[in-house]
Chain A
Amino acid sequence: MSTKQMTEMLKGTLEGVVLALLRGQPAYGYEITTMLREMGFADIVEGTVYALLIRIEQKGLVDVDKRPSEKGPPRKVYSLNARGEQELTEFWTTWSFLSERLEQLRVREG
């Protein structure tokens, strides 16, 4: 598996992946990065996730809650809101379409 290819493909889908992770369980940046790494996306860096969280915050897809932590600065905890839910539904529709077409292409090639 090529890391370069993986990085490029993830760019387009990471937003949907993070929305899906936030569904049902609010989380802060570091937790999200850890979850992604546990899923097998070992090359994901903290900064990429953080930039993405800023974007979905500006797009109004998440609610942000600043909570104090025992050590260090207060953490920004992100939770999916109604607009985020809607965006996630659209993401899965687009994803289904894309993966179906690619699968058709692969079968035809095979």
Chain B
Amino acid sequence: MTGKTMFITRMIDEKRRFKRYKERTAQLPTNYRTAVDGFERYLMVFAPSKGADLQAMFDDLADLFEESVASGTPVRDIVGDDPVEFIETFRRNYPMGQWIVNENERLVRAIDASTRAEGGSTAGADATSGLRDSRNTGEDTTS
């Protein structure tokens, strides 16, 4: 398969997953759907740009709200008093967007260079491998 066909296949697959997610949330009672739509919008703006990673978050959110409807948990008891705090904690559990990883690695290298000039240690190697791990997890989710 050429790169172009693979790209199109992936696009179609992502569209299909998003459509399925939208069908699920459409089934939720109105107040739950209002909450999910709010989080969806927030994640669209702040979450990683890679479609598959974002979709994993959407699917997990749909799971949470469907389970909560079934157990009769009110929306306030799902998200708490601070919805931003909730969604930020939620978001941090997923792989970072690639540009964030790149920026983090760049910062680690800058501090390494700065401490080398002081004759100090370069603890940064460790930190960078940590970042690589989280990036690899990100790539796993697409397969």
| A interface with B by C-beta (< 8 Å) | 28-30, 43, 45-48, 50-51, 54-55, 58, 69, 71-73, 75-76
Q: Is the interface of B mostly helix, strand, loop or mixed?
A: helix
The answer to whether B139 has its CB under 8 Å from any CB of chain A is: no
| B interface with A by C-beta (< 8 Å) | 60, 63-64, 66-71, 73, 76-80, 86, 89-90, 93-94, 137
Least CB separation from A58: chain B residue: B93
B80 and A54 within 8 A (CB): no
B64 and A46 within 8 A (CB): yes
B93 and A51 within 8 A (CB): yes
Least CB separation from B74: chain A residue: A46
Q: Give the Cβ gap from A5 to chain B, nearest Cβ, in Å.
A: 15
A47 and B70 within 8 A (CB): no
B63 and A45 within 8 A (CB): no
B71 and A47 within 8 A (CB): no
**A50 cross-chain contacts in B, Cβ below 8 A:** 60, 64, 78, 90
**B69 cross-chain contacts in A, Cβ below 8 A:** 72
Given contacts A51-B89, A54-B93, contact A45 B67 (CB under 8 A): no
